[in-house]
């Protein structure tokens, strides 16, 4: 496929502006910022994207209504978050007492002192593997997200000086990683590309490739001063409304293969994080058991106050079942009881579900986070 270089112009210009700002900042006093409150540096996909894809020419966007309808900070206007309100990353940051939401790296005003409040590098469609999400044309893979953090790190060193910057990143910053679902949904299992992928790689080989790449990416973040990590496993992707719709399942059914792949990856991920906790001195890698947590919401939704875990709140009802897979937008019908739906659209949780997930990751027990929860991770 020929590359349209115009599709990179916006991101490239923003990146050049950031580099110019980086060399012009110089070490300065940050007297008006309480560095002890810390910050979140967020990596991942559309589950935690805070608007990076707004600045890319991509098919994966959430910058149109009714996305963001319940996001109070924007007055209900879309911000590029793939949900009706806050993401899990937003809510966790609030719970930790961080004064601002982590800003999208590609936003023009994410520079200077703003980076000390946290930065979000997540990108809808992004994955651990660079090939993941190619169907969307542009997206930020995990490798690119780590590259972009390196730019932020240089800014922090300029702002604080080397010693204080290192302490800030080591002690007061949490590195959150929510990625992996797209590597299955929009790579290995995607009909337009999966036939070739499955011929080249068995599920075991594909998962091993994911783990090898993630090991390298997390090790790079450690080398760039990251010490406190929360890494989410892949959720029950066979149970999302998208899978139920394309496979014509009832509301209580899930697709077996995607869930088997997720569980296979999740077992390897746990072993990887155990390995990194053992080998990387001074680092703590916390596993967020998103799979069991979300499965609990889906199978026991009434217990948590939801009326449905199979029907998306924002969907296109006309034109047959497949119309429900069209991304949430102005032509979609939106439910009135948004806090009663586990899913906002065919792929992403609602803010109400994100709130429950985030609170259990913050203060829950070992069923949801191990070896400790995020609150205790912050206090280390």
CATH of 35-289+372-379, one of 3.40.50, 3.30.70, 3.40.720, 2.40.10: 3.40.50
Q: How far is CA 69 from the centre of its chain?
A: 20
Taking only the tens place, the pLDDT of each residue in 204-226 is: 999 999 999 999 999 999 999 99
Q: Please, what is the Cα angle at 47 between 44 and 52, to 5 degrees?
A: 60
Taking the C-alpha atoms of residue 355 and residue 86, their distance in angstroms, rounded to an integer, is: 8
Taking the C-alpha atoms of residue 290 and residue 235, their distance in angstroms, rounded to an integer, is: 5
Taking the C-alpha atoms of residue 243 and residue 325, their distance in angstroms, rounded to an integer, is: 10
First to last CA, the chain: 48
Residue whose entry in the numeric block shows the structure tokens 């990179």: 8
Arithmetic mean of pLDDT, 42-52: 98
Q: How far is CA 350 from CA 22, 32, 66, 238, 240, in A?
A: 37, 35, 12, 18, 12
**Per-residue DSSP letter, 370:** E
Say if residue 156 is preceded by a cis peptide, omega within 30 of 0: no
Side-chain-side CA neighbours of 148 within 13 Å: the count stands at 29
CB distance 205 to 264 below 8 Å: no
| Nearest by Cα to 263 from 298, 296, 244, 238 | 238
Q: Which of the pair, 27 or 226, is modelled with greater confidence?
A: 226
SS3 letters for 14-57? HHHHHHHHHHHHCCCCCCCCCHHHCEEEEEECCCCCCCHHHHCC
| Nearest by Cα to 243 from 347, 379, 139 | 347
| Nearest by Cα to 240 from 161, 360, 148, 353 | 353
pLDDT band at 198 (very low <50, low <70, confident <90, very high): low
Q: Which residues are catalytic?
A: 46, 345, 348
| Nearest by Cα to 7 from 190, 121, 182, 134 | 134
Check whether 16 has a pLDDT greater than 60: no
Arithmetic mean of pLDDT, 33-42: 86
Region of poorest pLDDT, from 70-74, 189-193, 275-279: 189-193
Check whether 81 has a pLDDT greater than 60: yes
CB distance 102 to 39 below 8 Å: yes
> pTM of the predicted model, to two decimals?
0.90
| Nearest by Cα to 95 from 379, 376, 375 | 375
| Nearest by Cα to 378 from 43, 46, 44, 93 | 93
pLDDT at 23: 41
Say if residue 66 is preceded by a cis peptide, omega within 30 of 0: yes
pLDDT at 44: 98
Interaxial angle between packed helices 290-299 and 351-363, expressed in degrees from 0 to 180 and rounded to the nearest 10: 130
pLDDT band at 27 (very low <50, low <70, confident <90, very high): very low
Arithmetic mean of pLDDT, 264-271: 98
Check whether 318 has a pLDDT greater than 50: yes
pLDDT at 197: 56
Could you tell me what percent of the chain has a pLDDT over 70? 87
Across the chain, mean pLDDT equals 89
pLDDT at 316: 75
Q: Which of the pair, 101 or 4, is modelled with greater confidence?
A: 101
| Burial class, 305, CB count within 10 angstroms (exposed 0-12 / middle 13-18 / buried 19+) | exposed
Q: How far is CA 9 from CA 14, 51, 52, 70, 169, in A?
A: 9, 17, 14, 32, 31
């Amino acid at each position: 496929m020929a590359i349209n270089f115009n599709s990179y112009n916006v991101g490239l210009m923003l990146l050049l502006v950031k580099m110019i700002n980086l060399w012009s900042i110089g070490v300065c006093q940050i007297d008006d910022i309480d560095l002890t409150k810390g910050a979140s540096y967020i990596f991942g996909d559309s589950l935690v994207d805070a608007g990076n894809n707004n600045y890319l020419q991509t098919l994966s966007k959430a910058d149109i209504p009714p996305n963001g309808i319940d996001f109070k900070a924007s007055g209900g206007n879309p911000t590029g978050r793939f949900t009706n309100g806050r993401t899990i990353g937003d809510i966790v940051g609030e719970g930790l007492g961080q004064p601002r939401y982590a800003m999208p790296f590609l936003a023009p005003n994410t520079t200077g002192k703003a980076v000390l409040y946290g930065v979000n590098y997540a990108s809808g469609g992004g994955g651990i593997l660079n090939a993941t999400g190619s169907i969307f044309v542009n997206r930020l893979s995990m490798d690119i997200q780590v590259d972009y953090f390196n730019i932020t790190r240089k800014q922090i060193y300029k702002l604080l000086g080397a010693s204080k910057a290192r302490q800030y990143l080591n002690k007061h910053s949490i590195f959150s990683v929510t990625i992996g679902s797209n590597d299955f949904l929009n790579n290995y299992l995607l009909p337009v590309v999966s036939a070739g992928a499955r011929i080249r790689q068995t599920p075991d080989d594909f998962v091993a490739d994911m783990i090898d790449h993630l090991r390298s990416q997390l090790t790079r973040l450690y080398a760039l001063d990251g010490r406190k990590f929360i890494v989410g496993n892949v959720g029950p992707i066979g149970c999302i409304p998208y899978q139920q719709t394309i496979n014509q399942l009832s509301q209580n059914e899930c697709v077996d293969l995607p869930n088997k792949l997720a569980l296979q990856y999740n077992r390897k991920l746990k072993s990887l994080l155990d390995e990194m906790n053992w080998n990387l001195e001074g680092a703590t890698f916390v596993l967020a058991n998103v799979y069991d947590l979300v499965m609990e919401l889906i199978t026991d939704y009434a217990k948590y106050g939801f009326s449905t875990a199979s029907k998306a709140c924002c969907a296109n009802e006309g034109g047959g079942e497949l119309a429900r897979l069209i991304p949430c937008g102005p032509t979609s019908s939106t439910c009135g009881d948004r806090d009663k739906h586990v899913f906002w659209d065919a792929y992403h949780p609602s803010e109400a579900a994100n709130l429950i997930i985030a609170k259990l990751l913050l203060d829950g027990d070992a069923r949801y986070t191990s070896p400790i929860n995020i609150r205790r991770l912050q206090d280390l």
